[in-house]
Amino acid sequence: MSLNAGWYLGSDHRRIRSALNTGFTAAAVRSYYAVFKVVAEQICEQLESFPSAATDVCSLLSAATLEATCQAILGCPTQDLGEEFVANNREIIKLTASQSEVHVLADAIVSRLPTWVWRVVIHLPTKIFAVAHRGRFLGNQVGGRIVREKKEATAQGLEAGSDLFSRLADPNNSDMLAEEDLVPQAGVVLVAGQETTTNTISFGLFELAKHPDFQNKLRAEIYSALGNNTTLAYESMPLLNAFIREILRLYPAVPLSDCIVLEDTVIPLGESVMSSRGKPINQIPVRKDEIVTMAFAAYQRLPSRWGKDPHLFNPSRWLDGETYQGEAVGPYANLLSFFGGPHICLGITIDLPGVG
C-alpha cells in the first residue's frame, strides 16, 4: 500500500507524514483487521462458487482490495464512491496494466523533461491523460465529500470512526490535517494502495499454483498454527514468512523509483562494475538535481545477495541462510519493496503485521 506523503518535500512532507502515521500504528492497524477479515471471507466465497475452469483472480482481488482500502482508510464501502469514480478507477488500472513498449518508453522520457514541458505534455488530448485528470477530479470530489461528512458528524457529537480519514478529520486530534491536505489523499490511496496489494497477492497465488507441494506444506502450517484460535501468530510460522519474503523479493510492487539528488555527492557501490573501457568502477559521482533510478527489482535478483538461483521462486532460501547476511538494506528482510528512509511506505504495517 502506498500513500501520497511521498509527493511532499521538506517540512511539508514531515507534517503530512506525521499525521498519516496515526493511521498506521499497531493499534490502528489492529482496528482494520475486522474489515480485512470480512473482505477475505467474501473472496473465498466467490472463489468457491466459481466453476473449475480458469479464473481471473486479478479482477476479483482488485475489487476486493478497493473495498478493503475504502473501509479502512475512508470509512465507507466502495458503493459510496459512486459509479463514475469506480468506473474511472477501473479504467486507470486497465490502461496502466496494458501499456505498450512505446508507452513505457514515452513515460520514461517524459519524466525526465523540464517541469514546464511536463506541464504542457500532461494536457495533451490522449486517453490516458484524460482518464488521469478525470480520476484526480473525482478523487478530490469524493475526498471532499467524505471529509465534510466526517466533520459534520463530529460537530453533532457523534463518535469518530476508526478509519484513517476519521482520525485525520477529527478536530480533537492533534494530528488533524487541513482539508486541502487531506482531500487529495483519497484518490491516490484508492489507486496506489489497491493495485500494489492486488499485484503482490496475485503473484503469490501464481507461485502457489505452480508449486502445489509447497502450497500443501504452507496450508498445513497455517492450520496447525491456527488450531482453535481465531487469530494467527505470524511470527510462529516460518514457512509463511519465507513465502511472503520470497514473493516480495521476486515481485516488488514498484520495480523501480526515481530519486532527485539534493546536493553534489558520490554514491559508493557495494560491488564494482566494469566500464566500457574495462576499468572497475567503485563509486558514481552525481550532481544536484540529477535523477537517480533505484532499480529495486534488479537488486532483489542479484546472485551475490540472494544465492545462485535469484530468478527462481525458492522460499527455502530464507530458511537455510542462503540469503546475504551483511549490512541491512530497506526496512524489512534486506528488501527494498517498501522503499526506505523517510519515504518508507506507510502501508508496511498493514502488509506485514508486526513490522514497524
Please state, in angstroms and rounded to a whole number, the distance separating the CA atoms of residues 122 and 133. Answer: 9
207 vs 57: CA distance, rounded Å: 13
- Here the contacts of 351-354 (C-beta below 8 Å, separation 24 or greater) are 351/1, 351/197, 351/200, 352/244, 353/29, 353/234, 354/234, 354/235
Tell me which H or E stretch contains 36: helix 26-49
Terminal Cα distance for the chain, rounded: 14
CA 328 vs. chain centroid, Å, equals: 21
Residue 63 backbone class (left: φ over 0; alpha: ψ -120 to 50; beta: rest):
alpha
Beta bridge partners of 279: none
Residue 267 to residue 273: CA distance in whole angstroms: 13
58 assigned binding-site residue: no
Distance CA 231, CA 191 (A): 29
Name the residue among 168, 142, 172, 176 with its Cα closest to residue 157: 172
195 vs 184: CA distance, rounded Å: 18
Residue found under cell 483472480: 57
Measured in degrees and rounded to the nearest 5, phi and psi for residue 98 equal: -125, 35
The grid coordinates listed for 98 are 496494458
H-helix or E-strand spanning residue 305: helix 303-306
Q: Which residues are annotated as a binding site?
A: 345
Q: Which residues are annotated as a binding site for heme?
A: 345
